[in-house]
Structure 1
């Protein structure tokens, strides 16, 4: 990961953290097209601001939601901060800031950056902003199922855009990426100052090409349940065209241990709260790490033998669960990265694609590279990997898929926890347990329904549209239960 210039980083990362967890960032371009600020701004200013917004939200509150729902950690029984998340009780009044900021902040900035880049035939910023726009939209679609797209980001020209179904948005984003890739974005390098605005790759357009291809691969894999023929056609075209995929992490890894400049998950959950122990180790995750002798427990929890809580059991008393008072806190650092797509995820997606469409040719090699990259991500060498992890399944396709996805799940904790939630919804892995984790028959790593869940045994599949959208946009779709799957769900 390239190092980025402190001046730019301080400006944008100070903006992304958002002291009030929902206020608009200082660098606000969501204004009238007649405003002189828009007339004088540039992609060089807009792009890093937008990336900061995306990282601040995906790597902040959404990491908390994703991590609880993916059962890496659970609400402590001595505090109240995240009980509604752990109980699957989120409503339209919760977490409006993420939806608002990703639209009016990140996406508005990306869209204007694209417009200005095209006007000056700068195909470098056009590709960079298009890929990050697609990534940000993909997260929103995967969370809400339907979002404004074809009529969105037009400012005062349309304050009530219609909502498009997720499939339409995906198709549109894939076409936007393809159009950006078709331009000549490699003939002129970014200059020294421009490279400082690229927090991901420092202006390396080859890596941006790989990121674009890897994002397309992810989106096509998300489509396999709802649009299997299109998913296969898209993936096979990537391989036929000789697409290269990420072999390095894509995200921001240059946070500082200073207020407003630190990792947004840390900033939100640790620095800004009166208690730093809200999130405790979940037995779902720790039991799987323990049964496999996985040394990553030390990275995730600060100890090889974390003391867990059962998922969602935050109402337990000291008499009922005496160990909960000493349950291990999920380990966080101000300098932790926010990954949009990691190298491990890239390799493991390729393993799945090769299993699905190429008879498994090369899948074992990609799988092993993914496991190695997942351990390298937390500073562990290949000799620290449990031997069974490197023994690729010789079983059925579903057995191989389960092995791939469970390894993905184990790699997502903290850095991009939301993906663990998404992938279970897409594939069904890790499996859902038939019993709660206190039962002697519980199988380590299987997901359990929250002890205090309010959805009658049904797991959450989405977020409901926020009140901010419903109050301002009459086109907001009718509310559906949080347990209703999104368009690509299994």
Structure 2
């Protein structure tokens, strides 16, 4: 891992001034250099920079927003944090870094990689192109899911176009799907002179078959997201193209790790964000982020041993206790010492891998695709994938004797726990997805709740108007730097403007 961090540190030094300038600029689409004639970096240096930022954004802000909106986490009575969440105060200043960092840093660096050409013509950079387009596809999917129309066809052109148009959400989705189709095939058939990134790729260490599998998995997730749009023929045709490249889907958790360590600014993102700092001091966020009563009760009622890995026992009582989402709570019995905080299955160590996509999620996506008829398979096949997803979740959380414990859990005759006990298989899959993504990629659970309505009885915050948000709003910065193109929005849009696939 030291080798990887050496590469990363060089890359960060090279790009530090560029990133800072972009962050402070009036236009984060504008970088005044020619992406086809770079003078300061090559893909092997730029890639880990892009991946580190990508992992951090997905593992911190996006994770936190998702877990709050699907009622996994609350705030104790001795803190006044998170009031915007409990009021559902989604505005143009709410978590703007999700949109802004995607363009100002992640897409900027990935586009640089995608467009890079060796001046001598001796080296082919197709492998980097595969990685860049796959990561862009992953992030663009979320931007469309969360915002709707976004800059795409004219975005990332740097000084050539600093005010890109906003493309239609469905057009962006299908363009990304086409891109993922191309790069999955490309990853498996690279030219002989292609340079592979090796250790500078902090996801897969340059294993291009795994990149093909990841591209296929992202694509399938997007296709399943289209299940309500009446485009089953299109979806099946696209699944056939996945089958044609022969790579299949991911077989393990997709993780990022450049060599995280117990040092300032080098800890694993989520651990540093919601756990402890490099001096072992508890972060404020860890102290003011606690379990909800609904989630603790649900896991207890279904005899789920993951409870003690997703949450930690109350410091005062030694039991698992949650609370409802609200700004004002009774002081007695509801402080951070009275309630369960984020648990050891999620906060393992400062060096832990940062999850990007869990195998458990991918298996559930495949299970749903079979149930809906997009992938060939029987009910038994869908059930096996469902059970395997639960087992993968137990393993990720490091549940003791994970395989046996998972089998005991999913063998119960409880709706949305045991496959055979669940009459609505889609409900079972999405409800189980809500459980397996607790504490990690719960932004996905929020989006899936918008798409399917599951879990059906998921509460809303007590300080809200009773309606959960379905989208985020474009940041204020867009209205100042790209005002002629950014669509007008109001606060009500966050609750009424569903994604195009709803």
Q: Same fold (TM over 0.5)?
A: yes
1:292 aligns with 2:311: no
1:141-178 deviation line (CA, Å, top 9, x unaligned): 11111210011111111111111122111111111222
Deviation at 1:42, TM superposition (A): 1.1
Partner Cα distance (2:470, 2:89) in 1? 12
Query: Which of these residues, 331, 342, 346, is aligned with residue 318 of structure 1?
Result: 331
Aligned to 1:452: 463
Aligned to 1:132: 135
Deviation at 1:472, TM superposition (A): 0.9
Partner Cα distance (1:336, 1:85) in 2? 28
Aligned to 1:31: 31
2:181/2:241 contact within 8 Å kept: no
1:297-334 deviation line (CA, Å, top 9, x unaligned): 12111249421011x22312225x65776111123353
Query: Which of these residues, 336, 339, 347, is aligned with residue 327 of structure 1?
Result: 339
Aligned to 2:66: 66
Aligned to 1:76: 76
Aligned to 2:387: 368
Partner Cα distance (1:402, 1:348) in 2? 11
Partner Cα distance (1:293, 1:4) in 2? 44
Cα 1:34/1:129, change in 2 over 3 Å: closer
Report the secondary structure of 1:339's partner residue.
Answer: strand
Deviation at 1:248, TM superposition (A): 0.5
1:248 aligns with 2:260: no
Query: Which of these residues, 161, 178, 181, is aligned with residue 178 of structure 1?
Result: 181
Partner Cα distance (2:77, 2:242) in 1? 48
Deviation at 1:6, TM superposition (A): 3.1
Long gaps (5+) in structure 2 = 278-282, 413-417
Report the secondary structure of 1:340's partner residue.
Answer: strand
- TM-score relative to the length of structure 1: 0.86
Partner Cα distance (1:76, 1:386) in 2? 35
Aligned to 2:93: 93
1:71/1:285 contact within 8 Å kept: yes
1:420 aligns with 2:429: no
Cα 1:275/1:146, change in 2 over 3 Å: closer
Aligned to 1:441: none
Cα 1:345/1:3, change in 2 over 3 Å: farther
1:15/1:260 contact within 8 Å kept: no
Partner Cα distance (1:419, 1:267) in 2? 22
Partner Cα distance (2:21, 2:397) in 1? 31
Q: How does 1:403-442 map to 2 (within 5 A)?
A: 403-431=428-456, 433=457
1:204 aligns with 2:207: yes
| Count of aligned positions | 466
Deviation at 1:417, TM superposition (A): 2.1
**Aligned-residue CA RMSD (Å):** 3.3
Partner Cα distance (1:23, 1:278) in 2? 32
Report the secondary structure of 1:351's partner residue.
Answer: helix
1:3/1:202 contact within 8 Å kept: no
Partner Cα distance (2:296, 2:498) in 1? 29
Query: Which of these residues, 133, 155, 161, is aligned with residue 158 of structure 1?
Result: 161
Aligned to 2:48: 48
